Protein backbone atom coordinates (compact mmCIF):
# COMPACT_ATOMS: atom_id res chain seq x y z
CA UNK A 1 0.00 0.00 0.00
CA UNK A 2 1.46 3.36 -0.96
CA UNK A 3 1.56 6.24 1.46
CA UNK A 4 -0.83 8.18 -0.74
CA UNK A 5 -3.45 5.41 -0.59
CA UNK A 6 -3.02 5.09 3.16
CA UNK A 7 -3.36 8.83 3.58
CA UNK A 8 -6.53 9.03 1.50
CA UNK A 9 -8.08 5.96 3.15
CA UNK A 10 -7.31 6.81 6.75
CA UNK A 11 -7.16 10.62 7.08
CA UNK A 12 -10.82 11.03 8.03
CA UNK A 13 -10.82 8.02 10.35
CA UNK A 14 -7.72 9.23 12.19
CA UNK A 15 -9.08 12.76 12.43
CA UNK A 16 -12.28 11.50 14.06
CA UNK A 17 -10.30 9.39 16.51
CA UNK A 18 -8.21 12.42 17.51
CA UNK A 19 -11.31 14.58 17.65
CA UNK A 20 -12.94 12.08 20.01
CA UNK A 21 -9.84 12.28 22.17
CA UNK A 22 -9.34 16.06 22.40
CA UNK A 23 -12.64 17.52 21.10
CA UNK A 24 -10.82 20.41 19.50
CA UNK A 25 -10.64 20.73 15.72
CA UNK A 26 -7.24 22.46 15.52
CA UNK A 27 -5.61 20.18 18.05
CA UNK A 28 -7.09 17.08 16.37
CA UNK A 29 -5.73 18.26 13.01
CA UNK A 30 -2.26 18.63 14.58
CA UNK A 31 -2.31 15.11 16.06
CA UNK A 32 -3.59 13.69 12.75
CA UNK A 33 -0.71 15.40 10.99
CA UNK A 34 1.83 14.08 13.53
CA UNK A 35 0.38 10.60 13.01
CA UNK A 36 0.83 10.69 9.24
CA UNK A 37 4.34 12.10 9.55
CA UNK A 38 5.22 9.10 11.74
CA UNK A 39 3.48 6.72 9.31
CA UNK A 40 5.47 8.22 6.44
CA UNK A 41 8.73 7.91 8.36
CA UNK A 42 8.14 4.36 9.59
CA UNK A 43 6.29 2.83 6.66
CA UNK A 44 9.34 0.83 5.55
CA UNK A 45 9.52 -0.65 9.05
CA UNK A 46 5.94 -1.87 8.92
CA UNK A 47 5.86 -5.65 9.08
CA UNK A 48 2.68 -7.41 8.14
CA UNK A 49 2.28 -8.84 11.63
CA UNK A 50 -0.75 -6.64 12.06
CA UNK A 51 -3.09 -5.20 9.48
CA UNK A 52 -2.07 -1.79 8.22
CA UNK A 53 -5.21 -0.35 9.84
CA UNK A 54 -4.29 -1.71 13.27
CA UNK A 55 -0.78 -0.33 12.84
CA UNK A 56 -1.99 3.15 11.90
CA UNK A 57 -4.61 3.27 14.65
CA UNK A 58 -1.92 2.23 17.15
CA UNK A 59 0.30 5.09 16.07
CA UNK A 60 -2.61 7.53 16.17
CA UNK A 61 -3.86 6.43 19.59
CA UNK A 62 -0.34 6.58 21.01
CA UNK A 63 0.07 10.07 19.57
CA UNK A 64 -3.15 10.96 21.38
CA UNK A 65 -1.84 9.52 24.66
CA UNK A 66 1.35 11.46 24.16
CA UNK A 67 -0.60 14.72 24.27
CA UNK A 68 -0.07 14.76 28.04
CA UNK A 69 3.24 16.39 27.21
CA UNK A 70 1.40 19.13 25.33
CA UNK A 71 -1.27 19.61 27.92
CA UNK A 72 0.05 23.03 28.81
CA UNK A 73 -0.95 23.97 25.31
CA UNK A 74 -4.54 23.51 26.32
CA UNK A 75 -5.43 22.32 29.81
CA UNK A 76 -8.57 20.19 29.91
CA UNK A 77 -10.50 22.77 31.89
CA UNK A 78 -9.96 25.28 29.13
CA UNK A 79 -11.11 23.05 26.32
CA UNK A 80 -13.81 25.04 24.60
CA UNK A 81 -17.20 23.74 25.49
CA UNK A 82 -18.24 23.21 21.94
CA UNK A 83 -21.81 22.24 22.63
CA UNK A 84 -22.49 25.80 23.71
CA UNK A 85 -22.85 26.51 20.02
CA UNK A 86 -25.76 24.13 19.92
CA UNK A 87 -28.39 26.84 19.79
CA UNK A 88 -26.82 28.45 16.78
CA UNK A 89 -25.93 25.23 15.01
CA UNK A 90 -27.52 24.48 11.68
CA UNK A 91 -29.53 21.48 12.67
CA UNK A 92 -30.41 19.22 15.51
CA UNK A 93 -28.01 16.60 14.14
CA UNK A 94 -25.07 19.02 14.28
CA UNK A 95 -25.84 19.63 17.92
CA UNK A 96 -26.03 15.90 18.59
CA UNK A 97 -22.70 15.28 16.84
CA UNK A 98 -21.03 17.96 18.96
CA UNK A 99 -22.67 16.58 22.07
CA UNK A 100 -21.42 13.07 21.28
CA UNK A 101 -17.83 14.23 20.81
CA UNK A 102 -18.07 16.33 23.97
CA UNK A 103 -19.32 13.33 25.97
CA UNK A 104 -16.54 11.10 24.60
CA UNK A 105 -13.82 13.63 25.39
CA UNK A 106 -14.99 13.63 29.02
CA UNK A 107 -14.37 9.89 29.40
CA UNK A 108 -11.10 8.52 30.83
CA UNK A 109 -8.32 8.49 28.19
CA UNK A 110 -8.34 4.80 27.29
CA UNK A 111 -12.14 4.69 27.17
CA UNK A 112 -12.00 7.54 24.67
CA UNK A 113 -9.72 5.49 22.43
CA UNK A 114 -11.73 2.27 22.76
CA UNK A 115 -15.11 3.85 22.02
CA UNK A 116 -13.71 5.95 19.15
CA UNK A 117 -12.33 2.81 17.50
CA UNK A 118 -15.59 0.95 18.11
CA UNK A 119 -17.60 3.76 16.52
CA UNK A 120 -15.11 3.80 13.65
CA UNK A 121 -16.18 0.17 13.01
CA UNK A 122 -12.82 -1.33 13.91
CA UNK A 123 -13.23 -5.01 14.83
CA UNK A 124 -13.02 -5.71 18.57
CA UNK A 125 -10.14 -8.15 17.98
CA UNK A 126 -8.25 -5.30 16.31
CA UNK A 127 -9.11 -2.87 19.13
CA UNK A 128 -7.66 -5.46 21.50
CA UNK A 129 -4.46 -5.44 19.43
CA UNK A 130 -4.32 -1.65 19.51
CA UNK A 131 -4.97 -1.10 23.20
CA UNK A 132 -3.23 -4.21 24.53
CA UNK A 133 -6.17 -5.95 26.19
CA UNK A 134 -7.93 -9.24 25.45
CA UNK A 135 -10.89 -9.29 23.11
CA UNK A 136 -13.20 -10.30 25.96
CA UNK A 137 -12.02 -7.33 28.00
CA UNK A 138 -12.67 -5.03 25.09
CA UNK A 139 -16.18 -6.41 24.64
CA UNK A 140 -17.00 -5.76 28.30
CA UNK A 141 -15.40 -2.33 28.19
CA UNK A 142 -17.26 -1.30 25.03
CA UNK A 143 -20.55 -2.32 26.62
CA UNK A 144 -19.79 -0.32 29.78
CA UNK A 145 -18.60 2.75 27.88
CA UNK A 146 -21.70 2.74 25.70
CA UNK A 147 -23.89 2.69 28.79
CA UNK A 148 -21.94 5.52 30.32
CA UNK A 149 -22.11 7.46 27.10
CA UNK A 150 -25.87 6.99 26.78
CA UNK A 151 -26.33 8.26 30.33
CA UNK A 152 -24.18 11.32 29.74
CA UNK A 153 -25.86 11.99 26.43
CA UNK A 154 -29.34 11.86 27.90
CA UNK A 155 -28.28 13.98 30.87
CA UNK A 156 -26.98 16.72 28.59
CA UNK A 157 -30.04 16.52 26.38
CA UNK A 158 -32.33 16.83 29.40
CA UNK A 159 -30.43 19.74 30.88
CA UNK A 160 -30.49 21.43 27.51
CA UNK A 161 -34.23 21.03 27.24
CA UNK A 162 -35.04 22.56 30.65
How far is 42 from 156, CA to CA, in rounded Å?
Answer: 42
Minimum distance of other proteins from residue 88's CB (angstroms): 15
89 binds other proteins (CB under 8 A): no
155 binds other proteins (CB under 8 A): no
DSSP codes, 71-115: GGGS-GGGS--GGGGGGGSSSHHHHHHHHHHHHHHTS-HHHHHHH
Binding residues for other proteins, rule: CB under 8 A, are 3-4, 7-8, 11-12, 15-16, 19-20, 25, 29, 33, 36-38, 40-42, 45-46, 55, 58-59, 61-63, 65-66, 68-69, 71, 93, 96-97, 100-101, 108-111, 113, 116, 119-121, 129-133, 137, 140-141, 146, 149-151, 153-154
Amino acid sequence: MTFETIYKTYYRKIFRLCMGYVNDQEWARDITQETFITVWEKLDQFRNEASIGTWIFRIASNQCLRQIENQKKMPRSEIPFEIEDQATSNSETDGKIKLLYQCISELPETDRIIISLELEDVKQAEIAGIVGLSETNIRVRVHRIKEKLSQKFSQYERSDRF
